[in-house]
């Protein structure tokens, strides 16, 4: 069906963009006031996209503002319910990320061809991912769960799944994750620290984002 084909192509485009970045900024915003400036800073640093967590009341407004920025890819994170997913997608979120395996949210997204990354932490979660036909998941919280060694262990029996580890990752350990064939990208907030956003220190965001992109390139052997 033409509509299904267009949706599949759109999903693939989103994954290709995230694959090329190697890292996704995870942002917590309380409104859309500084959204455009943030988008400009991230884009200047080489990452024209972000996952906005639904941890504050104004997160939906921030998603809406970012979605209006040309060529900027915005997703919604910390999605716990179908209602939140509906609101985020209506606001312009192009993909949905959940902290745990929220089966109702996953089903809602799959029914509507919305790219979704459910949070996983155990083999049981990965079995659920396979049962839902998913090939990409979030691994959270990455460092407390064992980090790189844990992902190496899981990649044996779950070779078909690719991961976006998030939680405890920063510029110091980013390369070790990206060197794993099973990791397509990492999520992190170190490029968009809360104090930088509060004080609108955009030059810091540009610098940290650019450093993250260079780290990705080095980890991937100079290719991107």
Q: Output the six-digit token pair for 27.
A: 């942002």
| 129: Cβ contacts below 8 Å, ≥ 6 apart | 101, 118, 120, 137, 161
Active site residue 51: yes
Query: What is the three-class DSSP state of 194?
Result: helix
Tell me how far CA of residue 9 lies from CA of 16, 69, 90, 136, 146, in angstroms: 10, 21, 20, 16, 35
How far, in Å, CA of 143 to CA of 167, rounded? 6
Which one is catalytic: 40, 64, 71, 138?
138
- Distance separating alpha carbons of residues 96 and 75, to the nearest angstrom: 6
Longest dimension (CA), the chain: 49
Q: Is 74 helix (H, G, I), strand (E, B) or coil?
A: strand
The whole-angstrom separation of Cα 221 and Cα 215 is 10
Q: How far apart are CA 166 and CA 143, in angstroms?
A: 8
Q: Any idea which residues carry the catalytic annotation? A: 51, 138
């Amino acid at each position: 069906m033409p509509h299904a084909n267009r949706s599949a192509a759109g999903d693939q485009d989103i994954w290709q963009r995230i694959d090329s970045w190697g890292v996704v900024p995870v942002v917590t915003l309380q409104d859309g006031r500084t959204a455009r400036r943030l988008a400009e800073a991230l884009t200047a640093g080489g990452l024209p996209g972000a996952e906005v967590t639904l941890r504050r009341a104004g997160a939906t407004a921030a998603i809406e503002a970012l979605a209006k920025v040309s060529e900027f890819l915005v997703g919604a994170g910390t999605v716990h319910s179908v209602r939140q997913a509906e609101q985020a997608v209506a606001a312009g979120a192009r993909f949905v990320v959940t902290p745990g395996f929220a089966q109702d949210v996953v089903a809602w997204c799959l029914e509507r061809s919305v790219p979704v990354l459910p949070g996983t932490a155990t083999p049981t979660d990965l079995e659920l991912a396979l049962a839902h036909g998913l090939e990409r998941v979030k691994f959270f919280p990455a460092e407390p769960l064992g980090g790189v060694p844990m992902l190496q262990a899981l990649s044996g029996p779950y070779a078909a799944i690719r991961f976006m580890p998030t939680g405890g990752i920063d510029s110091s350990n980013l390369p070790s994750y990206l060197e794993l064939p099973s990791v397509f990208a990492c999520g992190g907030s170190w490029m968009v620290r809360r104090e930088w956003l509060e004080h609108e220190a955009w030059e810091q965001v540009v610098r940290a984002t650019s450093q993250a992109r260079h780290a990705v390139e080095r980890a991937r052997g100079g290719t991107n």
